[in-house]
Structure 1
Amino acid sequence: MIHSKPGLGASAPSLSSNPPPRQVGDRQGLAILLICFVSMVFAVQDAVSRHLGAAYSPIFVTMVRYWFFGIFVIAMAARGPGGLRAASRSHHPLLQIIRGLLLVFEIVIMIVAFVKLGLIGTHAVFAAYPLLVVALSGPVLGERIGWRRWAAVAAGFAGILIILQPGVGVFSPWAILPLISALMFAIYGLLTRMVSARDSAEVSFFWTGIAGVVGITAVGLWHMEPITRADWPWMAALCVTGTLGHYLLIRAYSLAEASSLQPFSYLQLVWVSVIGVLMLDERLAPNVAVGMAIVVGAGLFTWWRTVQKARTASPPR
């Protein structure tokens, strides 16, 4: 999934009240195209992360990536209304810091998983994070989760068991990493929803980048390594794909509602599988393909039920 986005969907600008039908279609279509392209960009970023993570400390790789990302975040905030002062003014600074730290260290864990399990295996398990969001929404946010969505969560975790095949052969202890990463990202998503009640998307985006930069630098300075000349282009590609992906993601959410774009983010699984098989000599095992299909299907069903409930709860216009 597009797992490093800063959670802009909750507060993304909405469309005008009564735009011409063709304008809506054009904006929606462009947003969908952008999300599809972003999913490819992030898949390439993950492949580059896997390459660099095998040669350098994943903490160091993430730190360099975040330095570049931090510059991008500051530049975006400076261009926005009110500049840096407005972007940094949060009603939930502690929660914002926790969000930023959760995301940056979730990325570190994902890079380790890429190296140990490969792109395909890691993303197949990580795809369950929307189901974890649903499962945690009840105890954390006090939301009522119906039996249909609980059934989808159960089906999704059955899909994970099919992917991991515990008890069949030798179970890799590294398989727990994408599950931990998915849990961290789910908590990050829930915290994003909590702070969005009073903080704008721009504020959350700023704090995500700055808290992440500070947190990873405090740890990463102890993992500094010289980068070989051959790997400088790969490091540059990592920074560019990360920044480009986030910029296009922001553009997509400015054109259409996040709920209408969420299903298309699953295309990252397709791109990851293509890159893994054709470029990284990974294998898409039958059990992984079946389990991935179940997890994605369960995720799409929970998304659909959430959208339906939101529409039912919305007052008629």
Structure 2
Amino acid sequence: MTKTNPTGPLMAPTDRPLAVPPPQAGPLQDRQGSAILLICASAFIFAAQDGVSRYLGSTYSPVLITMLRYWFFAVVVLAMALRQPGGLRAMRSNRPGLQIFRGVILALEIVVTIEAFVQLGLINTHAIFACYPLLISVLSGPVLGEKVGWRRWLAAGIGFLGILIVLQPGSGVFSAKAALPLLGAVMFATYGLATRKVGRDDTAAVSFFWTAITGAVVMTAIGLPSWQPIAAPDLPWLLALCIGSGVAHFMLIKAYELAEASALQPFSYTQLVWVSIFAVVIFGERMAPHVAVGGAIVVGAGLFTWWRSRQRERAARRG
């Protein structure tokens, strides 16, 4: 769910060769095109997952739903790892501490965001959650050693102005509950930065493995007390949620391995389009004008940051 990826070139220079060099087959644009397709596909799956999570979260504890997702995720990943040459030994990480951190933060983010879907609805949650690429853009300086210029800071400021418009008093969103999607955005931005950073040393398969196992362990520890039987009609939805989670997150990890986050961020916003469609058509939600305006400002700020990043890249190639 929550939710596949995150602006600016997130791969900071290193003073030593990467332990896992980027793929060399095919020109750069081919890899970038594949990464864009992966991001768009993951965005659609994440949006569909959000709808299923909202449905299940109105009946079951978000902690229980997330735990069951991760159990399925872990079984699939273990089976895949055992079929690889070297088995589980091939899944050793060069950055185990960082892998554990990103796995835990993602699992907890899913719980927080499912609760936000139930409390605020899909549209209102995503209007706030859409600020996560701006958070990545700003945090890429202290975390990844990028230079963050004044334009990027200005775009982030405008984006957060859009959040304030969404949260205007009397809107029905302005409440303590509104902290949930904002917290989820901070957590997902942290996960995105950690994923990019760990990708310098570990392959996508290794990160995929650690995401599943770490999440399964932490969610089992906190989720068993919330156990309750799943009604038979809900089992197909839970299975779809589990399968979609594994597929979408692998797409997200692989996309970041193939291309710079700065090239991928605009396409992450397609999730907001799909979520809005599902929310209106399936759940009967209404998009209030101030939510639409605020969300558009947030997305516009993110797109401006991406555009500036691409301009810098072109200038560097010419000069």
Smaller-chain TM-score bracket? 0.7 to 0.9
Report the CA distance between 1:81 and its aligned residue. 5.6
> In percent, how many aligned pairs have the same letter?
59
- Whole-Å separation in 2 of the counterparts to 1:255 and 1:93: 22
Residue 197 of structure 2: aligned partner: 194
Report the CA distance between 1:236 and its aligned residue. 1.6
Report the CA distance between 1:212 and its aligned residue. 0.8
Match of 2:81 among 77, 99, 102: 77
Contact 1:69 1:209 in 2 (8 A): yes
Report the CA distance between 1:6 and its aligned residue. 7.0
Report the CA distance between 1:37 and its aligned residue. 3.4
Match of 1:208 among 175, 200, 211: 211
The worse-fitting range, judged by mean Cα deviation, of 252-261 and 92-101 is 252-261
Residue 59 (1) aligns with residue 63 (2): yes
- Whole-Å separation in 1 of the counterparts to 2:225 and 2:292: 39
- Whole-Å separation in 2 of the counterparts to 1:283 and 1:207: 39
Report the CA distance between 1:248 and its aligned residue. 4.8
Give TM-score, length-normalised by structure 1.
Answer: 0.85
The worse-fitting range, judged by mean Cα deviation, of 235-244 and 28-37 is 28-37
Contact 1:127 1:295 in 2 (8 A): yes
Residue 174 (1) aligns with residue 177 (2): yes
* Length, aligned pairs only: 308
The worse-fitting range, judged by mean Cα deviation, of 210-219 and 164-173 is 164-173
Give TM-score, length-normalised by structure 2.
Answer: 0.85
Return 5+ residue gaps in structure 1 as ranges: none
- Render the CA deviation track for 1:79-136: whole Å, top value 9, x for unaligned: 556442122x222212211110000000000000000000111111111011111222
Return 5+ residue gaps in structure 2 as ranges: 12-19
The worse-fitting range, judged by mean Cα deviation, of 126-135 and 72-81 is 72-81
Match of 2:165 among 162, 174, 177: 162
5 Å matches for 1:124-273?
A: 124-166=127-169, 171-249=174-252, 259-273=262-276
Contact 1:14 1:257 in 2 (8 A): no
Contact 1:12 1:201 in 2 (8 A): no
Residue 51 of structure 2: aligned partner: 47
- Render the CA deviation track for 1:60-81: whole Å, top value 9, x for unaligned: 0000011111223234434556
The worse-fitting range, judged by mean Cα deviation, of 130-139 and 252-261 is 252-261
- Whole-Å separation in 2 of the counterparts to 1:170 and 1:104: 25
Match of 2:287 among 279, 284, 287: 284
SS at match of 1:175: helix
Contact 1:96 1:207 in 2 (8 A): yes
SS at match of 1:171: coil
- Whole-Å separation in 2 of the counterparts to 1:262 and 1:154: 18
